[in-house]
Amino acid sequence: MHGRVWTVYKIAVLYIGAVIGAGFASGQEILQFFIVFEEKGLWGVVLAAALFSFLGGLVMLLAVSVRSANYNDVYRLVMGRIPGRIMDCLSLVMLPGGLVVMLAGGSAVFSEHLGLPGWLGTLLIAAVTIAVLSRGLKGVVTANIALVPLKVAVILLICFFALIYSGDRTESGIPCASSSGARVNWLWSAILYVSYNMVVPVAVLSSLGGKVTAEEGVLGGAAGGIALGIVTAMVYSAGRSFYPQIVGYEVPLLYIAGQLGAVVKLALGPLIWMAILTTAIADAHGFASRLAGAHNRRYRIIGTALVLLAVPLSALKFSFLVGVLYPLFGYVGLILLTALLVALPIKILRRIFYKSV
């Protein structure tokens, strides 16, 4: 029983680590996708939590059913051979692109929030990522077990004290222009948010298909989704308490942390850096495990080469990389989400129909 619970926990932690990157830990994603819709944004948070939980369990069920070693096995099962191959090619572009963005983000955090040389932040993320990949899947799991609970705990603590502080606050602030016009409504925004955040988790979770049972996989994926929903709800609640003052800040949580004191604000820089690190590991692992098994020498060589090639590209401006690559991530995510929520059920219903005829 204890072993099963531990396995479920590890799956959930890997899922959370792949989703909570720099955008989430900074509060910017939650602001853009949920807080700008004010009260209705809470319904978006609930929908996103339900989708994260359902999709996490579904992806793990599919991965275990084919004993997958990488995401390509799941793509082919869900989409078929040719669409699955197209999705595979898109992911092989997206994962290295995400790694470049994370390395650039590491530089931005060190230079803007910690007052340290930007190149040091990039090289540290690159070095840690290579060290983790050198231990294969075990290293990826261990890194997430160590880092994810810590960053989740810090986010929750900041949000908890922000909510307490906001209760004593009388400052009303002057409403400023929000970016909610960029989204159609809270419903579409929630769907877009989940689709945008599912490609990397699928790449990570799929590599566990041959390592766990169906029950462990479904429970771990569902639990990870619920935990993501809880953390999202806390960031949303804290952000709403300081809205619209936080609009216009690149790192909304940094503004909130600043209201709680210099020590709390200082703690947020390392938190965002840790969030970037876990996502960088997830990107590199997803790519390397697709081209090689996660336990052999080829996996380590591919992972190391990918990181080293990504370092020079990360010299490009962080905001520029996000503006160019993240829209691509969103489109790829929508394809994947449509396949999981629409194409897969139709495929199953067809099989049931033909068997009954």
Does some domain include residue 11? yes
Q: What is the pLDDT of residue 177?
A: 44
Q: What is the pLDDT of residue 235?
A: 92
| Domain membership of residue 263 as a residue range | 2-172+185-356
Q: What is the pLDDT of residues 62-110, one digit of tens each?
A: 999 989 888 888 898 888 888 888 888 888 888 898 898 888 888 888 8
More confident residue, 261 or 8: 8
Q: What is the pLDDT of residue 355?
A: 58
Largest CA distance in the chain: 69
Q: With cut-offs at 50, 70 and 90, classify the pLDDT of residue 127.
A: very high
Q: What is the pLDDT of residues 223-279, one digit of tens each?
A: 999 999 999 999 999 999 888 888 877 678 878 888 888 787 777 778 888 888 998
Cα 244 to Cα 120: distance, rounded to the nearest angstrom: 34
Lowest mean pLDDT across 29-43, 124-138, 244-258: 244-258
Residue 214 pLDDT > 60, yes or no?
yes
More confident residue, 311 or 329: 311
Does some domain include residue 149? yes
Does some domain include residue 177? no
Q: What is the pLDDT of residue 324?
A: 66
Number of domains into which the chain is organized: 1
Domain with residue 59: its CATH number is 1.10.4160.10
Residue 349 pLDDT > 80, yes or no?
no
Residues 6+ apart with CB under 8 A from 209: 60, 62, 63, 64, 65, 66, 67, 68, 69, 73, 74, 217
Q: With cut-offs at 50, 70 and 90, classify the pLDDT of residue 148.
A: very high
Q: What is the pLDDT of residue 354?
A: 64
Does some domain include residue 227? yes
Does some domain include residue 179? no
Does some domain include residue 289? yes
Cα 88 to Cα 300: distance, rounded to the nearest angstrom: 21
Q: Tell me what the pLDDT averaged over the chain comes to.
A: 84
Pair of tokens at residue 298: 């080829």
Cα 143 to Cα 93: distance, rounded to the nearest angstrom: 24
Residue 24 pLDDT > 90, yes or no?
no
Q: Calculate what percentage of the chain has a pLDDT beyond 70.
A: 88
Q: What is the pLDDT of residues 164-189, one digit of tens each?
A: 887 655 444 444 444 444 456 899 88
Does some domain include residue 180? no
